[in-house]
Chain A
Amino acid sequence: MAEFTPQVPKPDESVPFWRDLRVLGVLAQIAAIIAVVLGAAWLLNNVAANLVTLGESQFICQDGSSSFRCAFNFLRLDAQFDISETSIAYDPSDSYSRALLVGALNTIKVSFFGIILATVLGTVTGIARLSSNWLVSSVARWYVDIIRNTPLLLQLFFLFFGVILLLPPIREAIQPFGLPVYLSQRGFEMPGPVMMPSFRTWLFFILAGVVLAAVFSWLLGRIQQHQSGSVHRWLWPVLLFVAVAVGGWFFAMRSAADNQGLLATPESGIATFDDIAATVQARLGVDELRDLDELEASGVLTEDEILAAALSVCAVRDDPAEVNLTAQLRRANIPYTVSRNTTLDKTAADFTGGDCDVFVASQAELADIQSAQPELATGTLVPLAETPVRISVPRIEGLNFVGGIKMTPNFAAILIGLSVYTGAFIAEIVRAGIQSVSKGQTEAARALGLSESQRLWLIILPQALRVIIPPLTSQYLNLVKNSSLAIAVGYPDLWSTAFTTLNQSGRPIQVFLIVMGTYLSFSLLISAFLNWYNQRIAFVER
């Protein structure tokens, strides 16, 4: 064995500079910076050389000069491509920046709903994995194993091309469990809420209710500190909130009594809302509209006869007043047909042309039309009752669905694919989190006499959350990043619109900078929020 003699520097001997860590550290940094700067310079030099071939038109300013300052000026040019799904108004004549914004909003939309769905699915599956029922835990384990061990892109392709596009056509749409949900190759249709004009009034009440409940809860907390015995810190504020919200609902209904209305032709003989049923009954020659389905089934009336006698409605496309009226007509079982036109004037023209019995719109609009067009003055204005929110149900009309919420096949594929994939990962995180809470905690909670739900909410979950949140953050980030695979199923997310922009404008560097910057800021925002939350719930270490 070699002799080992430690070399202890003599006190008067100073460390040579090439072994001085401080000097070495600064040298290493200078070397790193020089390497990076040189590398960047080389790359930029190449870019400059290549730009000659790409064309300097990349940097043309408005005044015709060429400068790096104007690298992003192209964003103001017309995009000239269509986007199949938009959450804000968009037209091919809008600018590239607007197109990118539409894409970014689509990414936010799919990420937002994806995160919610994946969390719910993951939590349920994670708990199911720990179920005492063998079948439940095995099914959950198979789901997690299969999804986690196959690529997301493959799942998306399978879901889109192998499942959704092979669904039946619209006419034979599948209705699962008899619910008003329709699955077809053209997408998913489901009922959805439509906000009426009075929704704003109600929203004010809801906000006021939230504030009141929060203040009340805080007050109860203060009382609890000074008093022995338990106070329900959640029940009473929630009840207060519900009371305010319900009160607000009725207030909004009353205040909206003359918001919307119908303009009825004199021939139809409709003067109040209740007259509608009477009119249709008279046309059909039946006493009770409730029996309509039976009469049709027994062959007394044919579908065509009913349609001919049905109330015909003229409405402006996407007007909430139409949803309001048809919801009330359905409740009274009154058959109706709707003809829609794009603007108020065109719809009014249809109405004067004698296409329909009633013209539904807001009362202010109807009054305007009436004063502008004297031939409409003979019509009767019937006020229409309104609730802040109406549920719009999809119906087949002709070759398409009308009403409700529509999910395109592309959106459905990316949303379901992302949620199912991320849900499997979240399930494992939730399971690990719950298992990390020691059994003694459960036993202690039982010994204290807490109920099962108290044990879950007060003992297990708060402790499990501390383990769950950090990996959950990274799963949320993964979901947002994976939403860029939407391009594979044709959903116009940020990356997909950016790619089209890149191809059309011929400015790859700028587009990549924008896209990467946007994804980075999404990531930073989510992790900042969840870090804040994590710090709030973290153990206070003593």
Chain B
Amino acid sequence: MTTLYQNFQSVVRGEEGAQINFRDFIRDNITNSWWLALAVLFLTYVAARLVIAQTQAAPVTTLIIVGVWLLSVTATVMGNITHHHSRVTMWLSRNLYTSLASTLVTLILLLLVVAALRGFIGWAFVRASFSTDPEVAAETLAQWDNPGANWGAVIDNFRNLMVFRFPREQSWRIWALILWNVLLLIPSGYVFSREVFRRSRLRTVLIILWLFTPILAYILLRGFGTGGPVPVLNPDLFWGGLLLTLIIAVFGIVASFPLGVVLSLGRRSQIRGIPAWLTYGITGLLTVYLLITTTFPALRTATGIGQQLLAFWPLLIMLAAFLFQKYFKGNAVAMLSTVYIEVIRGVPLITILFMSIILFPIFLPPGVEVLSTWRVLAAVALFAAAYLAENIRGGLQSIPKGQYEAADAIGLSTAKKYRLIILPQALRAVIPAIVGQFIGLFKDTTLVAIVGLIELLGVANLISAQPDWLGVRREPYVFIAIIYFIGSYAMAGYSRRLERQLGVGER
């Protein structure tokens, strides 16, 4: 581009024989390659079509956009020619108008983004109704050909979205829990981020208080006794909305921690395996026994080659024994952990949730009944444990071998080696990954709406069935999307900050 501008400059200065060299400009911006030429042609076409279409749809806005675009392009080009950039044109020339193609793309995107924003604002604010009275809302919306959002449905159901059917007179229990957490969070943020408190007793106190929190949460949310200050509430009936979403997500991560650590250590364990002769001996005997007792009778009754082949299923035991020896060197702990982790990670969460609802009762002794909330919580924790185990395994792998050797060298026992040396470092390294997993779990809690628990999404679905707000679907969805977005985005930002603070990946 420079050449063209230099030429321009010469022309502007009125030098002898100066003329604008368009050839270089065209070469740089269009004919450099076939692809570029095609792209510019295509972009020009799209931009023209879009301008025409938008002029019909929204003349004033489009005129303003195209005008601003033209003006800013001119200003930038003039700035380039005269080498006198204002701060604005400098930024424009570097970020929006770097080349002809980029300039066209800017116009196209500008038109599209403004059209999308206009559409959204028109729907969400201009043509919207904010009245919680369904009749007023219907009247307000009826005056538009293309009515906007009916926010009354969300405002009217705000409490439902937050806590659903949690008894109104017991609301203080939730407020108390929130207060407790905030009161703990503020000093924790201060104490744990400062080096001064490294050896302070304050830390121990705070950790003990944090460990007490789940118990307090259980007492407040579930209650005990019937006549006391915190009567028992049936979670299947009274837990719902955002409350249930948070319970599931937090419980999932916290409860999966012990199992996750055990599984990750189990998968990496290098203890001496069961010797091959023992494995093959036991499985061999078992196979022969099963072949005699099941296969031969089955072969007699089998019809067709398929059934005959199926009858030889005991041979699969030998195959399993072979794989066990080949890949795990006879280490049963590693095998069990790996199989658990891979099976759970290989199937969708929804099948596991349905299992907890449908299969769980079959696997319990007859007569024992467990509330579906507890079943779903257990399923989520068992599911999260497999993913957590893989995250922690990543942390364990990041610990240099020297740390293990040093721990061995100073004579620590295996338990102490892991408790004092390995796990603190490994867990510190995977905190960001665990926060990431927590975000995933927070979003995945929506799936429990499919198995019949009324969490945030479940409440949103119910709103459209209320007689007052029949068919109102978009508004609650947008509202809870904002809740999820804020929650996940904030946590992701926290995780990034943590990553920097911990210096993960810098070692």
Contacts and interface: CB of A to CB of B under 8 A. Distances in A.
Given A54-B362, A132-B98, A162-B473, A69 B109 contact: no
B481 interface: yes
Interface string B357-379: 01101111110000000000000
A379 B439 CA distance: 72
Interface residues of A, number: 64
A528 interface: no
- Chain A at the B interface: mostly helix, strand, loop or mixed? helix
A162 B446 contact: no
A482 B348 contact: yes
A64 interface: no
A524 interface: yes
Contacts of B322: none
A514 B274 CA distance: 31
A414 B144 CA distance: 32
A465 B336 CA distance: 33
Interface residues of B, number: 69
Contacts of A7: 411
B411 A158 contact: no
Nearest to A153: B446
A22 interface: yes
Contacts of B445: 151
Contacts of A135: 96, 105-106, 109-110, 113
Nearest to B103: A133
A349 interface: no
B95 interface: yes
Contact of B346 (A22, A32, A524): A524
A146 B485 contact: yes
Given A50-B361, A50-B362, A520 B346 contact: yes
Nearest to B310: A69
Contact of A154 (B106, B351, B477): B477
B354 A47 contact: no
A516 B481 contact: no
B425 interface: no
B348 A29 contact: no
Contacts of A520: 343, 346-347
B358 A153 contact: no
Interface stretch (A254-262, A334-342, A387-395, A483-491): A483-491
Contact of A151 (B332, B345, B347, B484): B484
Interface string B421-449: 00000000000000000010001111101
Interface string A101-116: 0000000000000000
A162 B266 CA distance: 47
B355 A512 contact: yes
Given A29-B273, A162-B474, A484-B351, A133 B95 contact: yes
Interface in A190-214: none
Interface in A145-189: 145-146, 148-154, 157-158, 161-162, 177
B98 A133 contact: yes
Question: Quick one: which of A177, A487, A516 has the most chain B CB within 10 A?
Answer: A516
Interface in B322-353: 331-333, 336, 343, 345-351
Interface in A33-69: 33, 36, 43, 46-47, 49-51, 53-54, 63, 69
B450 interface: yes
A538 interface: no
A509 interface: yes
Contacts of B464: 161
Contacts of B95: 132-134
Contacts of B274: 26, 29
A482 B351 CA distance: 11
A515 B350 CA distance: 11
A249 B488 CA distance: 54
A20 B362 CA distance: 42
A116 B118 CA distance: 32
B288 interface: no
A235 to B, nearest CB: 14
Contacts of A136: 105, 109
Contacts of B358: 502, 508, 512
Contacts, number: 173
Interface string A492-506: 000100010010000
A481 interface: yes
B492 interface: yes
B350 A133 contact: no
B350 A487 contact: yes
Given A132-B98, A133-B95, A512-B359, A145 B489 contact: yes
Contacts of B348: 481-482, 484-485, 495, 519
A146 B478 CA distance: 12
A219 interface: no
Interface in B480-507: 480-481, 484-485, 488-489, 492
Contacts of A481: 346-349
A43 B368 CA distance: 13
B102 interface: yes
Given A69-B298, A149-B489, A509-B362, A133 B332 contact: no
B332 A150 contact: no
B137 to A, nearest CB: 18
Contacts of B362: 46-47, 50-51, 54, 508-509
A481 B478 CA distance: 25
A29 B332 contact: yes
B294 interface: yes
B319 interface: no
B271 interface: yes
A353 interface: no
Contact of B450 (A6, A26, A488): A488
A230 B358 CA distance: 65
B227 to A, nearest CB: 36
B457 interface: yes
A139 interface: yes
Contact of A499 (B354, B447, B477, B488): B354
B187 to A, nearest CB: 29
A149 B272 contact: no
A25 interface: yes
Interface in B291-318: 294, 298, 301
Nearest to B340: A36
Given A29-B333, A484-B350, A149 B485 contact: yes
Contact of A25 (B271, B446, B449): B271
Contacts of B411: 6-7
Contact of A509 (B272, B273, B359, B443): B359
A495 B477 contact: no
A307 interface: no
The 7 closest A-B pairs by CB, nearest first: A25-B271, A149-B488, A134-B95, A484-B348, A151-B443, A523-B346, A481-B348
Given A452-B33, A484-B350, 15 more contacts: A6-B410, A21-B272, A24-B271, A29-B271, A32-B332, A50-B361, A133-B95, A133-B98, A135-B105, A150-B485, A152-B443, A481-B346, A495-B348, A512-B355, A519-B347
28 contacts: A6-B410, A6-B411, A7-B411, A25-B273, A29-B274, A32-B266, A32-B333, A47-B363, A135-B105, A145-B489, A149-B443, A149-B485, A149-B488, A149-B489, A150-B443, A150-B481, A150-B484, A152-B443, A162-B477, A481-B349, A488-B450, A509-B359, A512-B359, A519-B347, A519-B348, A519-B351, A523-B345, A523-B347
Interface of B: 33, 35, 49, 94-96, 98, 102, 105-106, 109-110, 113, 266, 271-274, 294, 298, 301, 331-333, 336, 343, 345-351, 354-355, 358-359, 361-366, 410-411, 414, 439, 443-447, 449-450, 457, 460-461, 464, 473-474, 477-478, 480-481, 484-485, 488-489, 492
